[in-house]
Chains A and B, each alone.
Chain A
Amino acid sequence: MTDTAVEAEVVDTTEPLLSVEDLHVSFHKGSQTVQAVAGITFTIPRGETLGLVGESGCGKSTTGRAIVQVERATSGRILFGDTELTALSRGDLRTLRTQVQMIFQDPISSLNPRRRVSDIVAEPLNIWKIGTKEERKESASAMLDQVGIDPYLLGGRRPREFSGGQCQRISIARALVLKPKLLVCDEIVSALDVSVQAQILNLLEDLKQQYNLTILFIAHDLAVVKNVSDRVAVMYLGRLCEIAPSDLLYEAPAHHYTAALLASAVEPDPETARSSAALLGEPPSPINPPSGCRFRTRCPRAEPRCAEEVPEMRQIAPGHQVACHFPIGA
Chain B
Amino acid sequence: MSDRTLLEVEDLHVSFATSRGAVRAVQGVSLTLNQGKTLGIVGESGSGKTVLSRAIMGLLPRSSTTQTGSVRYNGTEILNAPNDDLRKLWSTHIAMVFQDPMTSLNPVQRIGNQITEPLKIHLKLSKGEAKETALSLLMQVGIPSPVERYQAYPAQLSGGMRQRVMIAIALACAPRLLMADEPTTGLDVTVQAQILDLLGQLQHDRDMAMILVTHDLGVVATRTDEIIVMYAGNVVERAPTNVLFKSMAMPYTEALLKSTPRLANPSHTRLTAIEGRPPDLLHPPAGCPFSPRCPYAQEKCHRERPPLVEAAPGHSYACWFPLTAARPQEVTV
Which A residues are closer than 8 A to B by beta carbons? 55-56, 163, 165, 193-199, 201-202, 205, 220-224, 226-230, 246-247, 250, 260-282
Contact (A270, B262) CB under 8 Å given A193-B215, A275-B222, A280-B194:
no
Q: Which residue of A lies closest to B158 (CB)?
A: A282
The answer to whether A195 touches B188 (Cβ under 8 A) is: no
3 interchain residue pairs of minimum CB distance: A266-B218, A268-B217, A198-B273
Q: Looking at A220, A223, A266, A277, which has the most chain B CB atoms within 10 Å of its CB?
A: A266
Contact with A along B37-56 (1 / 0, CB 8 A): 00000001100000000000
Secondary structure dominating the interface of B: loop
Closest to A197 in B: B259
Chain A residues, CB < 8 A from B158: 282
Q: Assess the A264–B263 pair: CB atoms within 8 A.
A: no
Residue of B nearest to A191 (CB): B45
Does the CB pair A278–B190 fall under 8 Å?
Answer: yes
- Asked if B326 is at the interface of the complex by the 8 Å CB criterion, the answer is no
* Choice from A56, A199, A264 contacting B193 with Cβ under 8 Å: A264
B268 within 8 A of A: yes
21 contacts between A and B (CB under 8 A): A55-B188, A194-B215, A195-B255, A198-B273, A223-B261, A227-B261, A247-B267, A263-B193, A264-B193, A265-B189, A266-B189, A266-B193, A266-B218, A266-B222, A268-B218, A275-B192, A275-B222, A277-B194, A279-B193, A279-B194, A280-B194
B191 CB contacts on chain A under 8 angstroms: 55, 282
Interface: B203 (CB within 8 A): no
Taking a contact as CB atoms under 8 Å apart, the answer to whether A194 and B259 are in contact is yes
Query: Do residues A165 and B277 form an inter-chain contact, with CB atoms below 8 A?
Result: yes
**Residue contact A279 to B190, C-beta cutoff 8 Å:** yes
A198-B274, A228-B268 given as contacts; is B189 within 8 A of A220 (CB)?
yes
B306 on the A face (CB < 8 A): no
A230 and B266 CA atoms in complex are apart in Å by 10
Question: In the assembled complex, which residues on chain B have CB atoms less than 8 Å from the CB atom of A282?
Answer: 158, 160-161, 188, 190-191
What B residues does A274 contact at CB under 8 A?
Answer: 222-223
Does residue B9 face the partner (Cβ distance < 8 Å to A)? no
Size category of the binding interface on chain B:
35 or more
Q: State whether the Cβ of B71 lies closer than 8 Å to any Cβ in chain A.
A: no
* Complex CA–CA separation, A222 to B260 (angstroms): 12
Q: Do residues A195 and B221 form an inter-chain contact, with CB atoms below 8 A?
A: no
Residues of the B chain whose Cβ atoms lie less than 8 Å from the Cβ of A267: 218, 221, 262-264
A279 neighbours in B (Cβ, 8 Å) = 190, 193-194
B40 to chain A, nearest CB (A): 11
Interface contact A198-B271, CB-CB below 8 Å: yes
| Chain A residues within 8 Å of B262, by CB | 223, 267-269
Q: Once the chains are docked, how many angstroms separate the CA of A260 from the CA of B191?
A: 11
Q: Does A223 contact B260, Cβ atoms closer than 8 Å?
A: yes
B91 beta carbon closer than 8 Å to chain A = no
Query: Which residues from A are CB-within-8-Å of B160?
Result: 282
Of A194, A220, A223, A268, which is within 8 A of B188 by CB? A220
Task: Give B235-285 interface residues, CB cut-off 8 Å to A.
Answer: 241-242, 245, 255-257, 259-275, 277
Q: Tell me which residues across on chain A come within 8 A of B245, comparing CB atoms.
A: 268-271
B222, A202: Cβ atoms closer than 8 Å: no
- Give the distance in Å from the alpha carbon of A76 to the alpha carbon of B272 in the complex: 41
Contact A246 B192 (CB under 8 A): no
CA distance A43 to B305 in the complex (A): 54
Q: Chain B's nearest CB lies how many Å from the CB of A268?
A: 4
Name B170-227 residues within 8 Å CB distance of A: 188-194, 196-197, 215-219, 221-223
